């Protein structure tokens, strides 16, 4: 049906139409008796697609990954209590990392709630708002939708997600889901609020004056630029003379790392190229564009630049020195920077050398694999147009040292750092960007949390390459403290049987690489099978780690020893 042509629609249809209008046409989740009426309405909307997940936590991770790569809103639907509590960790991660996700919970009817009936999925105390209150702590807004104000409630929540780039919560009672509401608002898709015109004009003038005086400008780009889909504007800014662009690790390769203005990834003292670090720390004018100043993104706060002296471009405000310009959105402040650079002149910058892309030596037959050889071989193997997805720990910090090919991106979760995030996020990435092949790196301990979502990926026909790094337990924690402790161990699995157990049949190929020559053969297999998923178990020593993770865990251990 075309909801916009109807005089009335149900609340469920209204919500689904709004999501489709916003580009969030795939919604993840699981059915449960309290959300069935809602789902029955949502699936009638033209352009709406349901993606069933294996559990609600995975649905939240998938919606998060989808939102990051779709550059819009992600959405999931759960049932009351047991479903929404399963998802809350994923939604909290979205809040931590500024990802706009709509958590939609199907609730018991308004009459049941008003009567305080002792229903299943409740705490049997008559209070139906326990979980709504929990979500208020990890969302930008939490609303239990009422029939009388449903269109306003839904639109306000979605606008909050757009404006603040944070998750929101909508609880929809079963009877409200089927209630009729006016469809008139659906004629006009929701749009993000614009900047305050006066504040933007004052900011643009002040920025132009400042930029005109500077011989060189360095822009440090953070993940919030991704959230606003502003990558093309960053590329335009990088094309101006006198400009360097560095990225935080959560926005690695936001500018192709082959670009002359690229400084690569900045991580304070852990920045790999000293000249690149100096170009940020000693910049005559440093612009912080959508940055997040957390421990893992700053090299444990080892940045040397003066944050207060930098120009700061945030999601909804901008700052120059002591003056804050409220209501100036990131897309407009970056456009103002682009204009200011174009209206003034500077000499071209000298490209700062990146670390040479590691290149693996010829594989030695029978030689045991090491982290160093594995990542060097992967560097040689990667192709342009790849979505690299790396789980917290060994995988993420190994991937950070890769020089990504053009038109590629790195998806990870370094702030929230929930292990297991990436397998469901790979589902979201495949749905969002089916034209980019997903390449997933995930540890054995992390995979045991969420591996069942691989079944959804396989049966939907997606063809990622999955590198399962089997290092027999929690290597990151072992590197920090108590390496021989029993809690660092995990139960051993026969990993290459997983796709078959999930019914993959000929949808997937598998391989195990314990040696350098076996890895070379597995990589060749993955390149030759673009039409299939490829699952590669990579067996590595328990205490071996990539270069960057080694130096980071040494720093963590040293800091812990001081306290």
**Buried b vs exposed e over 220-254: b needs ≥16 C-beta within 10 Å?**
bbbbbbbbbebbebbebbbebebbbbbbbbbbbbb
- Token look-up 């099978």 returns 529
pLDDT of residue 286: 98
The DSSP 8-state label assigned to residue 255 in this structure reads S
CB atoms inside a 10 Å sphere around CB 545: 24
β-strands 26-29, 217-221 pairing:
unpaired
Which phi-psi region, left, alpha or beta, contains residue 417 (left: φ > 0; alpha: ψ -120 to 50)? Answer: left
For residue 367, count CB atoms less than 10 angstroms from its CB and return exposed for 0-12, middle for 13-18, buried for 19 or more: middle
Q: Which residues contact 385 (CB under 8 A, 6 or more apart)?
A: 405, 406, 407, 408, 435, 436, 437
The CA–CA distances, whole Å, from 473 to 80, 94, 478, 484 equal 35, 27, 9, 11
pLDDT of residue 2: 45
pLDDT of residue 553: 81
- C-alpha–C-alpha distance, residues 104 and 431, integer Å: 19
Specify which residues 218 forms β-bridges with.
244, 286
Tokens of 348: 């071209």
The SS3 of residue 190 is coil
The DSSP 8-state label assigned to residue 216 in this structure reads -
Which phi-psi region, left, alpha or beta, contains residue 268 (left: φ > 0; alpha: ψ -120 to 50)? Answer: left
CB atoms inside a 10 Å sphere around CB 85: 18
Say if residues 543 and 479 touch (Cβ distance below 8 Å): yes
- Token look-up 């606003």 returns 228
Say if residues 358 and 374 touch (Cβ distance below 8 Å): no
- CA 153 vs. chain centroid, Å, equals 26
β-strands 101-107, 168-173 pairing:
parallel
pLDDT of residue 222: 95
- C-alpha–C-alpha distance, residues 113 and 127, integer Å: 8
Instruction: Delineate the domains of the chain, giving CATH numbers in brackets.
Output: 3-187 (3.40.50.970), 197-342 (3.40.50.1220), 371-562 (3.40.50.970)
CA atoms within 13 A of residue 134's CA, in its CB half-sphere: 17
Say if residues 247 and 220 touch (Cβ distance below 8 Å): yes
Say if residues 346 and 328 touch (Cβ distance below 8 Å): no
CB atoms inside a 10 Å sphere around CB 160: 19
Q: In what order do the strands lie in the sheet with 74-79?
A: 49-52, 26-29, 74-79, 101-107, 168-173, 141-144
The SS3 of residue 99 is coil
Reading the chain (563 residues) residue by residue, the pLDDT tens digits are: 444 567 999 999 999 999 999 999 999 999 999 999 999 999 999 999 999 999 999 999 999 999 999 878 999 999 999 999 999 999 999 999 999 999 999 999 999 999 999 999 999 999 999 999 999 999 999 999 999 999 999 999 999 999 999 999 999 999 999 999 999 999 999 988 899 999 999 999 999 999 999 999 999 999 999 888 899 999 999 999 999 999 999 899 899 999 999 999 999 999 989 999 999 999 999 999 999 999 888 888 999 999 999 999 999 999 999 999 999 999 999 999 999 999 999 999 888 866 666 677 888 999 999 999 999 999 999 999 999 999 998 999 999 999 999 999 999 999 999 999 999 999 999 999 999 999 999 999 999 999 999 999 999 999 999 999 999 999 989 988 899 999 999 999 999 999 999 999 999 999 999 999 999 999 999 999 989 999 999 999 999 999 998 888 887 777 767 76
Say if residues 195 and 184 touch (Cβ distance below 8 Å): no
This model's pTM is above 0.85: yes
The answer to whether the Cα torsion of 421, 503, 522, 512 is positive or negative is positive
Specify which residues 104 forms β-bridges with.
77, 170
pLDDT of residue 563: 63
């Amino acid at each position: 049906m075309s909801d916009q042509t109807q005089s009335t629609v149900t609340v469920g249809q209204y919500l689904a139409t709004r999501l489709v209008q916003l580009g969030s046409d795939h919604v993840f989740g699981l059915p449960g008796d309290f959300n069935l009426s809602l789902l029955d309405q949502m699936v009638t909307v033209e352009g709406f697609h349901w993606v069933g997940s294996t559990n609600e936590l995975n649905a939240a991770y998938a919606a998060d990954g989808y939102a990051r790569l779709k550059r819009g809103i992600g959405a999931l639907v759960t049932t009351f209590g047991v479903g929404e509590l399963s998802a809350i960790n994923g939604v909290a991660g979205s809040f931590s990392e500024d990802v706009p996700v709509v958590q939609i919970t199907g609730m018991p009817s308004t009459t049941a709630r008003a009567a305080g009936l002792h229903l299943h999925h409740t705490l049997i105390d008559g209070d139906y708002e326990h979980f709504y209150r929990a979500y208020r702590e990890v969302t930008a807004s939490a609303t239990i939708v009422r029939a009388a104000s449903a269109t306003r409630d839904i639109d306000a929540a979605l606008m909050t997600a757009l404006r603040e780039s944070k998750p929101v919560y909508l609880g929809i009672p079963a009877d409200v889901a089927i209630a009729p509401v006016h469809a008139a608002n659906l004629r006009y898709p929701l749009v993000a609020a614009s900047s305050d015109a006066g504040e933007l004009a004052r900011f643009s003038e002040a920025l132009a004056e400042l930029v005109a005086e500077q011989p060189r400008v360095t822009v440090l780009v953070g993940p919030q630029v991704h959230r606003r889909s502003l990558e093309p504007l960053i590329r335009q800014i990088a094309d101006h003379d006198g400009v360097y662009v560095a990225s935080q690790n959560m926005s690695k390769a936001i500018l192709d790392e082959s670009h002359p203005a690229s400084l690569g990834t900045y991580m304070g003292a852990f920045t790999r190229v000293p000249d690149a670090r100096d170009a940020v720390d000693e910049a005559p004018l440093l612009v912080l564009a959508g940055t997040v100043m957390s421990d893992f993104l700053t090299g444990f706060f080892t940045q040397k630049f003066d944050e207060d002296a930098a120009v700061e471009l945030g999601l909804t405000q901008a700052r120059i020195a002591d003056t804050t310009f409220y209501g100036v959105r990131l897309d407009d402040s970056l456009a103002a920077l682009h204009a200011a650079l174009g209206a003034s002149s500077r000499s071209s910058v000298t490209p700062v050398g990146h670390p040479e892309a590691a290149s693996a030596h010829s594989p030695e037959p029978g030689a045991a694999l090491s982290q160093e050889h594995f990542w060097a071989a992967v560097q040689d193997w990667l192709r342009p147009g790849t979505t690299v997805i790396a789980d917290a720990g060994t995988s993420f910090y190994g991937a950070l040292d890769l020089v990504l090919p053009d038109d590629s991106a790195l998806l990870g979760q370094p702030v929230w750092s929930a292990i297991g995030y990436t397998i469901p996020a790979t589902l979201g990435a495949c749905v969002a960007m089916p034209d980019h092949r997903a390449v997933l790196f995930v540890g054995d301990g992390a995979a045991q949390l969420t591996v069942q979502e691989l079944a959804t990926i396989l049966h939907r026909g997606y063809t990622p390459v999955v590198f399962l790094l089997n290092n027999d337990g929690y290597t990151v924690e072992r590197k920090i403290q108590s390496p021989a402790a029993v809690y660092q161990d995990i139960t051993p699995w026969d990993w290459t049987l997983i796709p078959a157990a999930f019914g993959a049949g000929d949808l997937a190929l598998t391989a195990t690489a314990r040696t350098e020559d076996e890895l070379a053969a597995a990589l060749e297999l993955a390149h030759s099978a673009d039409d299939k998923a490829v699952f590669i178990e990579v067996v590595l020593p328990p205490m071996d780690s990539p270069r960057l993770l080694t130096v980071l865990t040494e720093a963590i251990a040293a800091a812990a020893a001081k306290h």
